[in-house]
Amino acid sequence: MAGNVLNATLNDGNKMPLIGLGTSRELGDALKTMLNLALEIGYRHIDTAHAYQNEAAIGEVLKTWLDSGKIKREELFVVTKLPGMGNRAESVEKYLKQSLQDLQLSYVDLYLVHSPVGSIEGTSNNPMDRAVDMNTDHISLWKAMEAQVDAGRARSIGLSNFNARQVKRIVRAARIPPASLQVELNVYFQQRELVAFCRALDVSVCAYSPLGSPGSRFRATGNWPTQDPVVLAVANKHNKTAGQVLLRHHVQRGIVAIPKSTNPSRLKENLQVFDFQLDDEDMEKLAALDKRAKGRMFFQNQSKSSEGHPEYPFKDLY
Ligand SMILES: NC(=O)c1ccc[n+]([C@@H]2O[C@H](COP(=O)([O-])OP(=O)(O)OC[C@H]3O[C@@H](n4cnc5c(N)ncnc54)[C@H](OP(=O)(O)O)[C@@H]3O)[C@@H](O)[C@H]2O)c1
């Protein structure tokens, strides 16, 4: 099965599977069960973060698989993220070394700056009440990210939750440009301007919450893309599920997606999106579901304190 998953080729030549496994909010045994099953099914791209507090559990599972010889390290694509409280040059190496220790790996495939907003070290791990550090300097931070590639601790480096202006400033100053930008992106929030902008700069885009995070407490309306009548009609036409159509839509736009599921059949279906094709009519119908900025769900009411930060990203249109 793993061989069926196509890759995005990043600007540094590294290959990133177009579908990966999201792991946020999953911990302990539930996480280990999900990850073991995902690896059996054929997932090879795993998305985590220091902030998810699950790297050690992921590391335990990966070690078992790697020690058994069932997978080789080079077959995996492991992504983790520098927490906001590490958003300063002198903290990057410390946090990446901690992640590598927890993951029991000598390198990650992609290391992302989780947020453009820095917070003060030692404050709460909860983004909602974390004290922001108003002195975040993206350029010196990025130089420290580049040093992680030089040291062999990260194969590729990138960004998450940065807006176009912030991405461009880093690309202009970079010796190693960001390979990937991970942002909220789903059929109701298609981020077309940002995707085009990144494409022009040769920065690959990865969709987080690619199904619209059904059930999330952050969407007030309770309208989920997985229940949208247009999506369901396209799914019916192809004899696929709504989730598969939503993920296929990303894949056909050249966007990497990292859905999360603890449900075995949904975990499986989310990877099976390489055996059918959406036609032009389907793509147009799905494009028309875009609510643009109104479709954004995350970081609206999640972290009021970060809105006053000079690098708060979501005041710009994209
Ligand atoms: N960089 C960032 O700031 C950031 C922010 C948010 C998320 N992320 C990453 O993105 C990953 C995914 O985001 P997410 O979990 O918020 O959203 P998501 O993957 O869009 O949605 C996950 C939810 O959808 C359900 N689901 C999964 N597959 C489904 C299907 N085929 N049909 C219907 N429902 C399905 C899951 O429930 P079941 O488990 O019951 O199937 C779960 O409740 C995270 O795990 C994390 O790795 C990154």
Q: What is the pLDDT of residue 271?
A: 98
Q: What are φ and ψ of residue 183, in 5° steps?
A: -140, 160
Q: What is the pLDDT of residue 62?
A: 98
pLDDT tens column, 184-212? 999 999 999 999 999 999 999 999 999 99
Q: Could you tell me the distance, in angstroms and rounded to a whole number, from the CA of residue 89 to the centre of ligand 1?
A: 31
Catalytic amino acids? 52
145: which 2 tokens? 């990210």
Which residue among 24, 54, 112, 223 is best mutated to probe the pocket of ligand 1, counting the most ligand atoms within 8 A of its Cβ? 24
Average pLDDT over residues 88-117: 97
- In this structure, the residue with its CA closest to atom 42 of ligand 1 is 261
Q: Please determine, for residue 139, whether its predicted confidence score (pLDDT) is greater than 60.
A: yes
Q: Which residues of 234-267 are buried (b: 16+ CB within 10 A; e: fewer)?
A: bbeeeebbbbbbbbbbbbebebbbbbbbeeeebb
Q: Which domains does the chain have, with CATH numbers?
A: 2-222+247-279+291-308 (3.20.20.100)
The least confident of 3-7, 123-127, 155-159 is 123-127
